[in-house]
Structure 1
Amino acid sequence: MTTEPLFRDDAYLRETSARVIAAGPDGIVLDRTVLYATGGGQPGDSGRLVLADGSTLAVTEAVKGENGAILHRLAADASAPAPGATVTASVDWDRRHRLMRMHTALHLLCSLIPGAAVTGGAIGDGKGRLDFDLPEAPGKDTLNAGLAALIAADHPVTTEWIGEDELDANPGLVRTLSVKPPRGAGRVRLVRIGAGDPPVDLQPCGGTHVRSTGEIGRIAIGKVENKGRQNRRIALVLEA
């Protein structure tokens, strides 16, 4: 059972018709979906399923299942549609868009601290953080100014694919120590920010992002914390 992840090619697709291919206590598996499944530090989407009779089921979270399946989790007392049923799956767009803005902003933060490995991170609704292997972090004012400039420049955000052998030949593309690019499919998805050479940022990522940095909007450094001798935690918050 494999779910076609429509969000991978179009993060702005808000709904799709789909067929139920399995249903159980762990969730509903559809043949395709617009709901992102938890992974890479990004939370799974919430949303809803509309059945053929017009009734609605709330999806509390989308998570990864086995063999490429995406599980759409329902409330504990919900009655799942039977396999073969046709539904319309839609994503909670306002929440998803905030996650997209934050995820893209964290890529910009990463670009402002070149060469430092990312040892951890999290993306939340309106907030996020990255942990860097650094003896000292840049000051908040410096980071805020850098983020503001990159957002104002409205750099394009695009995706592309490379072979796993290309990634092996360019290990510097991988910034995160805690999350490794998925392997085994023969290719790896990259997110590129900026049209120049070199780009603002280029690294493996399977998450959802906005189309350009200007769409991130107002964002600021929340905290810069010491989490160990070589670990600096930098938090971001959306301001609007």
Structure 2
Amino acid sequence: MTIELFREDAYLRECGATVLAAGTEGIVLDRTVFYPRGGGQPGDAGWLIRADGSRLAVTDTRRGESGILHLPEAGVPLPGTGERVTAVLDWERRHRHMRMHTCLHLLCSLIPAGVTGGAIRDGSGRLDFDLPGQSLDREALTTALNRIVAADHPVTSRWIDAAELDARPELVRTLSVQPPRGRGRVRLVEVAGVDLQPCGGTHVARTGEIGPVTVTRVENKGRNNRRVSVTLDTP
């Protein structure tokens, strides 16, 4: 299986790796900095640089049975098993995902309700909340989010075992998706003094790094769901 370097350091932009397999379904490396699509966060894009200096574009990253799959652009020659490559992220895109993912944790802290869905895009994102019969103020949420961002709270992660999570069910905010429990462990992401919940995604180190944000829309999505959409104000 692929060693997931991004779990311990989301700021790694590249790494050397060995190709374990390559086929139409994707390229599997022994280690990677590429985050695979999951938890509402898109898979990373970037490049694999071969020994001769040629670049193979990676258009998406997903999980597969044999490891993390790096999806190559169509019609290019694939590397061979055992070949050494350098995996290089499209860092600016990834960093926007990290900023928005962290921003959505802040949004969770402001709305005390279960999360029924969510998605992160390049520079924007949204969460759906179980709030039957309740309304949300878009401008008040924007003000509150930017106050937390500007306070520059540290963001850290740690691992707990699954039994500890079972003993603290209030940590899980999502109603339809359970947090990943790989090898009996669960990763907690904490925004100091603001939010604590299980999450497998990538995040910035401090809230100030998110930059100014705007809640662009609050929508009713059915009788119970309220959808809150947010954008980053800076690239």
1:45-68 Cα deviation digits (max 9, x unpaired): 00000001111100001110115x
| 1: CA distance, partners of 2:70 / 2:76 | 12
Structure 1 unmatched runs, 5+: none
Aligned-pair CA distance for 1:76: 1.5
2:203 paired residue number: 209
2:95 paired residue number: 97
1:232 paired residue number: 226
2:7 paired residue number: 8
Q: Does residue 31 of structure 2 align to residue 37 of structure 1? A: no
Q: Give the secondary structure class of the aligned counterpart of 1:185.
A: helix
2:188 paired residue number: 190
Distance 1:184 1:6, change over 3 A: closer
Identity %: 64
1:156-205 Cα deviation digits (max 9, x unpaired): 000001110000000010001232111251110000001xxxx3100000
Q: Give the secondary structure class of the aligned counterpart of 2:98.
A: helix
Aligned-pair CA distance for 1:138: 2.3
2:157 paired residue number: 159
| 2: CA distance, partners of 1:30 / 1:225 | 42
| 2: CA distance, partners of 1:76 / 1:157 | 38
Q: Does residue 17 of structure 2 align to residue 18 of structure 1? A: yes
2:171 paired residue number: 173
Which amino acid in structure 2 is aligned with residue 62 of structure 1? T
| 1: CA distance, partners of 2:189 / 2:122 | 21
Aligned-pair CA distance for 1:75: 1.2
Q: Which runs of 4+ in 1 moved over 4 A?
A: none
Q: Give the secondary structure class of the aligned counterpart of 1:82.
A: coil
- Listed as ranges, the matches of 1:117-136 within 5 Å are 117-135=114-132, 136=134
Which amino acid in structure 2 is aligned with residue 34 of structure 1? V
2:54 paired residue number: 55
Distance 1:7 1:184, change over 3 A: closer
Cα RMSD (Å) of the superposition? 0.9
Structure 2 unmatched runs, 5+: none
| 2: CA distance, partners of 1:40 / 1:83 | 30
Q: Does residue 135 of structure 2 align to residue 141 of structure 1? A: no
| 1: CA distance, partners of 2:73 / 2:189 | 34
Q: Give the secondary structure class of the aligned counterpart of 2:183.
A: coil
| 2: CA distance, partners of 1:140 / 1:25 | 45
1:78 paired residue number: 76
Which amino acid in structure 1 is aligned with residue 128 of structure 2? D
Which amino acid in structure 2 is aligned with residue 237 of structure 1? T
